[in-house]
Amino acid sequence: MVDRLTRHLAATCLVTVGMMAAGTAALAQSGEVNVYTYRETKLIQPLFDAFTKDSGVKVNVISASNGLEQRIKTEGANSPADVLLTVDIGRLEEAARSGITQPIKSDVLEKAIPPQYRDPEGHWYGIALRARVFYVSKERVQQTAITYEELADPKWKGKICIRSGQHIYNNALFAAMLAKAGEAKTEEWLRGIKANLAQKPSGGDRETARDVAAGKCDIGIGNTYYWALMNDKEADKKAWADATKVILPTFKDGGTHVNLSGVVLARYAPNKDNAMKLIEWLVSEKAQQMHADVNYEYPIRAGIPINPTIAGYGTLKADPLPISKIADNRKAAANIVDKVGFDN
């Protein structure tokens, strides 16, 4: 009788332990992660849906056009933010400097992401690349290769369109030039570009293509993905893409200027484990391919096919300058823009 009771209790314990283990495993594969992002939800929701399907982790998204860093800072230790998904080294660096991030140490990320595209201290990581390129008139521009330095050549007088020199996309390009050429040459270069402008800097990258198509200028400066969106998905702007072609410019002694879409881990992330699952998943082969095709950006992971429209621009030879060096020169570049009255 005692033996039967002992065997029964042992069996019961085994079942209980098994149920507890199963429950713990199920819990580890579920839960939530809260993402604050500057990306349009419609552009990144397919990635989040795929992540949830793969991991069982629900993704809650808060999307805004500005102010997310300040929101996270104001929320402090009570912030629900786990991940900030954003664009441009400017915003990534601002997040790190505002104290809302925590460093990441991940073999997965370090294996997938080249050193020049991550913060040396681990506070931000790039997940995709975009390049700052030229939209040029098919009819009026015969050159097939143009350097960034050539934008200051007097032959382009009255022929260049660009958005504000203080916009984060242009600030990063100017900061890259500053890191390479120094203050005096960068100032001279920006004065030369200003002298070649067809109109006051205004609008966005799409509008530069519009103005090239309308004959107001011959060269517009824009990011790689805008042209692809106009060509493939924005029927009302297809004519602007049809009238222009993309040239991948280079620095005289370097490659094409690139910037990042990137991610940070929030300082007080309440769902840190799930946040890390998402961040590491974003550099997986599956996610990198989806990001390339949905957002028309260059995969940051080697070996992932580039979207055909983007590939049609030619082979990207990214400038080797570490993105952190661009971050270091952002403020000085902004000061030079003001000094030369670029936007006036």
Nearest-angstrom CA–CA distance, 72 and 33: 15
Provide the pLDDT for residue 13. 36
**Residue 149 shares a structural domain with residue 70:** no
pLDDT of 16 strictly over 90: no
Q: Are 222 and 206 in contact (CB under 8 A)?
A: yes
Average pLDDT over residues 295-311: 96
Which of 260, 255, 257, 309 has its CA nearest to residue 283?
260
pLDDT of 12 strictly over 70: no
**Residue 118 shares a structural domain with residue 221:** no
* Residue 311 domain flag: no
Provide the pLDDT for residue 42. 79
Q: Are 330 and 172 in contact (CB under 8 A)?
A: yes
**Residue 182 shares a structural domain with residue 71:** no
Mean pLDDT in the chain?
91
Burial of residue 232 (number of CB atoms within 10 Å: 0-12, 13-18, 19+)? middle
pLDDT of 35 strictly over 90: yes
Kind and range of the H or E run holding 331: helix 330-339
- Bin 25: left if φ > 0, else alpha if -120 < ψ < 50, else beta: alpha
**Residue 200 shares a structural domain with residue 322:** yes
Three-class DSSP category at 20: helix
* Residue 193 domain flag: yes
Average pLDDT over residues 104-111: 96
**Residue 186 shares a structural domain with residue 321:** yes
**Residue 263 shares a structural domain with residue 245:** no
pLDDT tens digits along 323-337: 999 999 999 999 999
pLDDT tens digits along 228-238: 999 999 999 99
**Residue 323 shares a structural domain with residue 265:** no
Burial of residue 191 (number of CB atoms within 10 Å: 0-12, 13-18, 19+)? middle
**Residue 187 shares a structural domain with residue 298:** no
The rounded percent of the chain whose pLDDT value lies above 90 is 88
**Residue 158 shares a structural domain with residue 244:** yes
Confidence of residue 190 (pLDDT cuts 50, 70, 90): very high
Number of domains in the chain: 2
Both tokens of residue 202? 């205004």
pLDDT of 27 strictly over 60: no
CATH classification at residue 269 = 3.40.190.10
* Residue 25 domain flag: no
Average pLDDT over residues 192-216: 98
**Residue 246 shares a structural domain with residue 266:** no
Q: Are 118 and 104 in contact (CB under 8 A)?
A: no
**Residue 95 shares a structural domain with residue 178:** no
Query: What's the predicted TM-score (pTM) here?
Result: 0.88
Both tokens of residue 209? 């293509």
**Residue 203 shares a structural domain with residue 334:** yes
Residue 167 identity (one-letter amino acid): H
Provide the pLDDT for residue 30. 56
Provide the pLDDT for residue 17. 32
Output the CA torsion sign for 34, 40, 44, 46.
positive
Residues 6+ apart with CB under 8 A from 85: 35, 36, 37, 38, 39, 44, 261, 262, 263
Which residues constitute the domain of residue 138? 130-257+317-339
